[in-house]
């Protein structure tokens, strides 16, 4: 009987053993080693199958927003209600509020009776009333009283013929009056324009230092001027703190404007100042701040500054000319003007939470 081969010497056959037996033994040893290698490789493959980084058909990929809310869905929500979250930085801090644009004939302006003397709109109304009182002289008023007396006497006549003549004469006049009323209504509709409305109350802008504070106020049912907007109920029912994420174009750094202007023409930041002008105009209208309206009105030095900066942003030949116009605007005048604007806006802010 042939002896068992020594595995450690299988590759060095003894001269007493047949070559075929040595080859068979060697082959068997290679197969065992291959099996052991395969068995050792199986756990590695199993680990690879459990790799958490492998594509999962149920995984829709990482969210763009760390909050887990799709930014596209957020934008769709605000577009639906046609109201936007706004972030405003002032010297006293940064806060959130809301802004919408609606037609002027759909809104009731904020109540500024507490500061009526400073209210441009109220002052104009008082001026119009005073002009109406001085519209007629004493003689004209006497003539009107006499005419009214004749009208009363005419109405007192009960003759049928005279009544019929009166009716015939009044019909064309009534038709003309109706036409005049329709024309006045059309003129009023044409005069209506899109205007800003903020989260304000009694002439104060409500600013919240946190999104949670803003949403808590919205859900509280407290009075404010934005409640008159047609989509307010929908917003109040659905808004969440995570939704309060203003776009870059709705974030305004008013706290940096004065310092930037003080740095001189070469350091002026056109986008910063242009955006500040946009929100300042909106706020001055919504808060009824006549001084700010006047300072930013067409033809003012700050409006000239705004136009020149827009020309610089547009570039080209117009940008070159705009830079030359900027050199003619005093840095000190611009910074002092904006300091006044920001001070008046800050005084009309009601900080919450």
The secondary structure of 107-163 as a DSSP string is ------GGGGGG-HHHHHHHHHHHHHHTSS-HHHHHHHHHHHHHHHHHHH---HHHH
Sites in the chain below the pLDDT cut of 50: 1-32, 34-35, 39-41, 43-54, 57, 59, 61-62
pLDDT of residue 17: 46
Q: Exposed/middle/buried for 331, CB within 10 Å: 0-12, 13-18, 19+?
A: middle
Indicate the angle between helix axes 270-286 and 331-347, nearest 10 degrees: 40
The answer to whether 225 touches 110, Cβ cutoff 8 Å, is yes
Global confidence as pTM: 0.63
Produce one character per residue of 231-268: b if its CB has 16 or more CB atoms within 10 Å, e if not: ebeebbeebeeebbbbeeebbbbbbebbebbbeeeeeb
Phi and psi torsions of 253, nearest 5°: -105, 75
pLDDT (tens digit per residue) in 304-330? 999 999 998 888 777 778 888 888 888
Q: Exposed/middle/buried for 329, CB within 10 Å: 0-12, 13-18, 19+?
A: middle
Helices and strands per DSSP (H, E), number in the chain = 13, 7
pLDDT of residue 19: 45
pLDDT of residue 156: 62
The answer to whether 265 touches 327, Cβ cutoff 8 Å, is yes
Residues 177, 179: Cα–Cα separation, whole Å? 5
The closest of 28, 225, 209 to 108, measured between CA atoms, is 225
């Amino acid at each position: 009987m042939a002896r068992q081969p020594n595995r450690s010497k299988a590759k060095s056959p003894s001269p007493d053993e047949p070559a075929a037996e040595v080859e068979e033994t060697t082959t068997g040893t290679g197969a065992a080693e291959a099996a052991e290698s395969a068995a050792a490789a199986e756990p590695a493959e199993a680990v690879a199958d459990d790799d958490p980084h492998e594509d999962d058909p149920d995984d829709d990929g990482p969210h763009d927003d760390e909050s887990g809310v799709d930014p596209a869905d957020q934008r769709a929500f605000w577009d639906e209600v046609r109201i936007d979250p706004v972030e405003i930085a002032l010297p006293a801090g940064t806060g959130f509020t809301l802004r919408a644009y609606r037609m002027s004939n759909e809104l009731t302006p904020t109540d500024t009776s507490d500061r009526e003397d400073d209210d441009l709109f109220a002052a104009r109304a008082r001026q119009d009333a005073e002009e109406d009182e001085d519209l007629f002289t004493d003689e004209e008023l006497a003539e009107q009283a006499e005419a009214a007396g004749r009208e009363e006497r005419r109405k007192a006549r009960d003759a049928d013929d005279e009544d019929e003549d009166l009716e015939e004469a009044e019909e064309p006049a009534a038709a003309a009056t109706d036409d005049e009323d329709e024309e006045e209504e059309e003129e009023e509709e044409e005069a209506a324009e899109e205007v800003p409305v903020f989260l304000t109350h009694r002439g104060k802008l409500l600013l919240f230092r946190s999104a949670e504070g803003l949403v808590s106020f919205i859900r509280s049912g407290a009075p404010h001027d934005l409640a008159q907007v047609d989509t307010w109920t929908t917003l109040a029912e659905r808004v969440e703190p995570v939704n309060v994420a203003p776009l870059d174009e709705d974030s305004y750094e008013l706290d940096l404007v004065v310092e930037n202007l003080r740095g001189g023409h070469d350091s002026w930041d056109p986008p910063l100042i242009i955006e500040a002008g946009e929100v300042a105009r909106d706020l001055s209208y919504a808060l009824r701040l006549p001084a700010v309206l006047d300072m930013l009105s067409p033809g003012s030095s700050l409006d000239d500054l705004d136009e020149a900066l827009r020309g610089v942003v547009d570039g080209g030949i117009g940008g070159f000319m705009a830079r030359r116009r900027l050199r003619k605007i005093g840095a000190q005048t611009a910074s002092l003007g904006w300091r006044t604007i920001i001070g008046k806006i800050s005084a009309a802010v009601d900080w919450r939470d």
